[in-house]
Structure formats: structure tokens, C-alpha cells
């Protein structure tokens, strides 16, 4: 009994020994090994096996410092369609309908919109992977859609999209004034990300500039290894804007993948429910809705964006300034996104 207790005590004493002793032993062993035997690759390998997790702890300090950014928001990254222009995100949706109709496999507006936010080629691939579309494709061709089909449809998509983009460049009411307020009154830099590719962004930025909206930087979906929901477009914005740390950035978007782009980048992520892909109506159509339809559609949109992980969901870009103020308060309190 006594010997068992001694054994337990000595084991527990050993486990409570300061980390320093174990590290010292390791150091001494390494020195001894050097002194006793000429260094060979084999003996170096043996020494390395002695290393255990204890060396990862600093044995000579009792505290470790945790770094917190407590400054303010420095930059916002705004999506394009459904965020600053094209309320209801009609421009890509109608082209997806057209591209699948040309293939002889028409899709519904809901199917066309579901993967919205992704790179447009990824979007086409995701539509072909939907169970309903797969079934209709099989009924038509006796096989499922393959990558060759996706490539062909994307090739068809590009000129159609560029051709009709200008029809859907109307700025969302208040977006230009809000962007100006963010820049001039709140001192923020303005970046942009999108599921559109560079030639499409070129069309959008010229049209938006005529209306007075000019972000500081542009990043298109084809400029990064993978677009949304991956973080690369946000990080490329941070570099081009020369803004850090990532906690000082707020990403704003109307789609779930756009919200995830922000959270996966490590910044604050804000969803816009009313003007985007899930209410899926332009401003005149929204104004004509019954109260019941409006509330139902808006609540569904809020749910989708909140479930995607948004830190905030608001109706439109025009409610962004108070959100920035609240994020500033949370940052000052030591909170991270």
C-alpha cells in the first residue's frame, strides 16, 4: 500500500515538475551527444526523437501576451450586384436562364439564383449538380452534364453577360451617398469583390463611375486561385488597399457565399437582405409587394444570411454606418470578428 502511494506521489510530483527541468535535460542530452560522438546524420536523427511537447512552452516566463487590435475599422469591401447596384441581382440570373435554355434544359429562376455569389463558371457547375437539373439533363441527353458542358456553357455565358450588364447597372438608392459618407466622414477605404470576371467588372466600374461610385480598388473573381466562399479576394483587397489588420476590415454582401468569403478571410461580415439575391426583386417590385409578402421574403433572406455566419444582417447598404460604429465599439472592447 505504502509503495503504491509512493509510486502515485512520485508520478504526480513528476508531472507537476516545472517544464524547465525537462527542457534542461533535453538541452544537456543534446550537448552530451555532441561531446561524446562525432555528428552524423543518424545520431542527429536520434537526438531529434528526444524532443517532446515540453520544448514548445517557454520555461522561463510565467505569462504569455495575447495581441488584440483595439483600433477602428479602416476599410470596407463591397460586393457589386445586390449591394451597390442591380437591386434584385437580375443581370446574372437572366443570363443563367438563357444559357441553360440554349442547351435544351431550361432551369427555374430559383435554380438560377441558388449558387449566386460564386465565380460564374463555378455557379454554372453548381447548377448542373442540383438533383433537379441533373435529372432533367439525363432525361434530355441520357447522361449527366460533364466538365465539357460546363466549359461550353461558360463560354456562351461570357458574351451574353457582358452584352446585358449595362441594362442592370442602376445604382441602389442611397448607395453612392453611403459610399461617400463611409469614405469622407468615417475615413474608410473602399474595396470591392464579385463573382464577375475582369471583363465584366470593367463594364460595371465604368457605369458606376458615371453615377459617382468609384471604389479605391477592384478585385474580380478570375484574379484569385478560388473565388467565394474562399477568402482570397478579401485578402487581395487588403493588400491593394494597404489596410491591416484583417480585423479592421468589413466585408459587405447580399449572398451566403459572399458572407462566408468575409468570415473565412477573418474579417467582419455584413449581409444585406433587402436589395439582394434572396428577395430577388428590384426596387419598384419591392415597393409593390403586400406587407405580408414583403415580410416573408425579407425574413427568409435574413435567415439565409444569418445562417451563413454574418456578424450583422441589415436591409440595405444605407444602414452600414451604424454597423461600423458598433464594430468600432466591439474592437475597442477587445473583441475579434
Which of 76, 90, 7 minimizes the C-alpha distance to 248? 76
For the chain, strand residue ranges (E) read 75-78, 189-192, 249-253, 268-272, 312-314
Instruction: Sketch the per residue contact string, 60 through 79, with Mg ion: x for CB under 5 A, - otherwise.
Output: -------------------x
Burial 59-85, CB ≥16 within 10 A → b, else e: eeeeeeeeeebeebbbbbbbbbbbbbb
Name the residues annotated as catalytic: 79, 120
Give the shortest CB-115-to-Mg ion separation in angstroms: 12
- Does residue 84 belong to the site contacting Mg ion (CB under 5 A)? no
Name the residue nearer to Mg ion (CB basis): 79 or 111: 79
Transcribe 61-110 into DSSP letters.
-S--------S---EEEE-SBTTTBSTT-HHHHHHHHHHHHHTT----HH
Distance of closest approach, residue 117 Cβ to Mg ion, in angstroms: 6
Cα-trace Rg, the chain? 28
Name the minimum Å distance from CB 89 to Mg ion: 6
Residue 2 grid coordinates? 505504502
Among 76, 77, 78, 81, binds Mg ion (CB under 5 A): 81
Q: Which of 73, 75, 82, 113 binds Mg ion (CB under 5 A)?
A: 82
3-class secondary-structure state, position 156: helix
Choose the stretch contacting Mg ion; rule: CB under 5 A; options: 176-184, 198-206, 247-255, 289-297.
247-255
Nearer to Mg ion, 81 or 221 (CB): 81
**Least distance between Mg ion and beta carbon 288 (Å):** 22
- Residue with Cβ nearer Mg ion (75 or 115): 115
254 contacts Mg ion (rule: CB under 5 A): yes
Among the residue ranges 18-26, 44-52, 200-208, 246-254, the one whose residues contact Mg ion (CB under 5 A): 246-254
- Are the CB atoms for 82 and 195 separated by under 8 Å? no
Q: Whose CA is closest to 96, among 246, 196, 199? A: 196
Q: How many residues form the binding site for Mg ion (CB under 5 A)?
A: 4
Residue nearest to Mg ion (CB): 82
Q: What is the contact surface with Mg ion in residues (CB under 5 A)? A: 79, 81-82, 254
Amino acid at each position: 500500500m505504502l509503495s503504491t502511494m509512493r509510486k502515485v506521489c512520485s508520478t504526480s510530483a513528476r508531472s507537476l515538475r516545472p517544464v524547465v527541468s525537462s527542457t534542461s535535460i533535453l538541452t544537456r542530452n543534446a550537448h552530451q551527444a555532441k561531446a561524446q560522438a562525432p555528428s552524423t546524420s543518424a545520431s542527429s536523427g536520434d537526438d531529434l526523437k528526444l524532443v517532446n511537447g515540453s520544448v514548445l512552452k517557454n520555461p522561463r516566463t510565467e505569462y504569455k501576451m495575447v495581441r488584440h487590435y483595439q483600433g477602428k475599422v479602416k476599410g470596407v469591401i463591397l460586393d457589386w450586384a445586390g449591394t451597390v447596384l442591380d437591386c434584385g441581382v437580375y443581370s446574372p440570373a437572366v443570363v443563367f436562364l438563357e444559357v441553360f435554355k440554349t442547351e435544351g434544359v431550361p432551369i427555374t429562376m430559383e435554380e438560377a439564383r441558388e449558387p449566386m455569389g460564386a465565380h460564374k463558371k463555378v455557379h454554372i457547375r453548381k447548377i448542373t449538380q442540383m438533383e433537379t437539373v441533373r435529372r432533367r439533363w439525363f432525361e434530355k441527353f441520357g447522361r449527366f452534364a460533364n466538365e465539357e458542358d460546363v466549359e461550353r456553357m461558360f463560354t456562351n455565358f461570357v458574351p451574353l453577360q457582358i452584352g446585358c450588364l449595362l441594362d442592370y447597372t442602376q445604382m441602389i438608392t442611397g448607395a453612392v451617398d453611403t459610399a461617400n459618407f463611409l469614405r469622407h466622414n468615417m475615413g474608410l477605404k473602399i474595396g470591392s469583390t464579385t463573382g464577375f470576371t475582369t471583363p465584366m467588372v470593367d463594364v460595371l466600374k465604368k457605369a458606376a463611375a458615371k453615377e459617382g461610385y468609384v471604389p479605391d480598388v477592384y478585385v474580380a473573381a478570375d484574379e484569385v486561385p478560388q473565388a467565394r466562399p474562399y477568402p482570397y479576394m478579401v485578402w487581395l483587397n487588403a493588400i491593394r488597399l494597404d489596410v491591416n489588420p484583417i480585423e479592421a476590415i468589413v466585408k459587405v454582401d447580399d449572398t451566403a457565399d459572399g458572407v462566408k468569403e468575409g468570415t473565412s478571410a477573418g474579417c467582419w461580415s455584413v449581409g444585406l437582405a433587402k436589395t439582394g439575391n434572396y428577395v430577388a426583386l428590384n426596387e419598384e417590385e419591392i415597393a409593390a409587394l403586400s406587407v405580408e409578402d414583403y415580410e416573408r421574403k425579407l425574413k427568409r433572406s435574413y435567415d439565409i444570411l444569418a445562417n451563413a455566419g454574418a456578424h450583422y444582417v441589415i436591409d440595405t447598404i444605407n444602414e452600414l454606418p451604424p454597423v461600423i460604429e458598433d464594430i468600432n465599439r466591439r474592437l475597442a472592447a477587445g473583441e475579434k470578428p
